[in-house]
Structure 1
Amino acid sequence: MSAKIAKTIARQKEKVAEGNFYEAHQQLRVITSRYLKSADYNSACDVLYNGSLLLLRAGQGGSGGDLALMLLNDVYIKGEWECDEENKRRLLEILHAFPKDEPTRKRFVSEMISWSGKLGELERGDPEIHHEVGKIFAEEGEAYDAERHLVLGTPASAPILASLHYTWYTQDQPHLAPIYASRSVLPYLLVGNLASATTALSTFTSHLTTSNPQLLAMSQPLESSKSGVSLRIFPSIPLLNFLSLLLLAAPKGDSTLFKQLAKFYAPYLKDADALWSDALANIGEIWFGIKIPRQGGNPLFDMMGSMLFGGGQGGPGAVGGGKSGSGHTSRSGTPKPAPVATKKEIERPPAMDLD
């Protein structure tokens, strides 16, 4: 930042301290416009970046957000600035300065991700940006918004997403654990991220067994001697077992194995059909080469939109209604809770070659 711009920011800082927010905002816009007129994007960036932070941290979300959007649209996009670490750093610092309830933040997030998709490596947006946005929404308890971003985030996103889903699950009925676990596992598989899907299920299961030690005591290990992967079979939660075995089967790409797994768990999968059928069909194509009919558009992203999970549809998948963060909600189409008074025989999958 040049000495001239530093003086400009210092003067506006004094105005903000005196409560002259409107005057500071307007002067920052006028000064920026001069730099933009001469295509001096670096100077315009310095003014807008520092000015937006100054106003946002003073609680002026509208004015600060306006300058933040100017930075994105008039500098980053018009100047075709690449999505590199320094450019991301500025935007993420501004993002964290937004007040929670500032309406401009939503537009800023949308346009920031759009910029990163156009001038970054991935069309769906930069993973680090998705991670930071998702983490903020998770901390604020905005589950629907959080999961849409965390699914497209970094490896660090998976534990956050799974923990969010577990917290959400604890506000619902006990037998719905697999449904909530699937909200991270299946979307991660749909975007081709097996590692994060595995981390998410492991995190969710760890929370579940820590809070319910009787589940761990009643479970039985199932290990793959060749791969070294191990999991546990839970007698009262067959759909959770299905998710675990699906993750073991996915890297093999064996369509027969996938069909065998689906056939064995068919009596239980019918309970989750409304939630999982489209996702599993696409997973069958992505991971196991089982083609499904196409009817134009982008069915994968259409399905992802419904799996992630139509916020207006109620709880996880909208079976029977319900809302995130609300109390216990009765839902149809899900397995009934298993009795815990007696130890059930361990439900075993068929003799599948998972090694």
Structure 2
Amino acid sequence: MSVLEVRNLHVTYGSGNRAVPAVRGVDLSLAGGQKLGVAGESGCGKSTLALALLRLLPASARLTGEIMLDGEDVLTMKWGRLRAVRWAGASIVFQGAMHSLNAVHRVGDQIAEPIMLHRKSAPAEAKRRVGELLQHVGLPAARADAYPHELSGGQRQRVMIAMALACDPQLIVADEPTTALDVMIQAQILRLIEQLVAEKDISLLMISHDLGVLADTCDRLAVMYAGRVVEEGPARAVYGRAEHPYGRALAAAFPRIGDPASRRAPRGLPGDPPDPSALPSGCTFHPRCTLALDSCSEQDQELVTAGEGRRAACVLVGAGTAGRGPARAGAGTEKQL
């Protein structure tokens, strides 16, 4: 059974007299105990998607579609029900722990707050639970008395994970949880998240720009570009051999440790994602795509089957040639990403 079903989700921000689309027709499914990664550059709609799952977006955002969390549509929930679902049904680990934690409250009090609110626990019971949670994420229970500024970046992120686990949710959304951390601490936090999700049989939706991190952590991977999912499939398969040119470009941008070819010839992707208020016609990736056909500037592509358990939104996938080099004779300007 699916813990999370996102169906035709659109998120549009009001900007003056213009409507700016940030998420455009996203469909995702996440089963119980499954780990789904969402990848893409900054500005592709990943964080907007994450915040939309629990209606944490500003009032200027307009949402349509369905977000089914354990069979209930988050978008139609009344405020009281939504408040009950947050923390207890699903929780979020934000990317900036220092900005998410209250600087003038001890971290133990901040973890205890949702426990007392949702579990109706007495202060003494909540304090005991806080100590258990901190030890579970590798921190001494005594650190509950610390203020956020007294903790290192990795310790603050562990506090955020402890807080996310406080009410035993079915789903954790991790929005770039290791962005501000050094490489060694990143690895520790990722191992911790993976271990806790496995132990508690929690579903995980993790957001990152790094396909390698998601491939190592998640079961499935969805690649977003300009507010849409352009590829989805098993994480290792998408990372190792993406069918969409954008997925291949993202994977190539991160050299593989121990692979001399990628280390000596790193490849990037010139340019930036399009401004959501001025999206190009046709396939939104075509201005940056070295495999683009003439028709790509005129017709957008829907997700189509691209192998067992895989989908991709590229005209070359429909032709059976995506990921295999130039698709047409005489396309002298095309080259493999």
TM-score by length of 2: 0.29
Structure showing greater radius of gyration is 1
| Greater relative contact order (Cα < 8 A, sep 6+) | 2
More helix by share: 1
More strand by share: 2
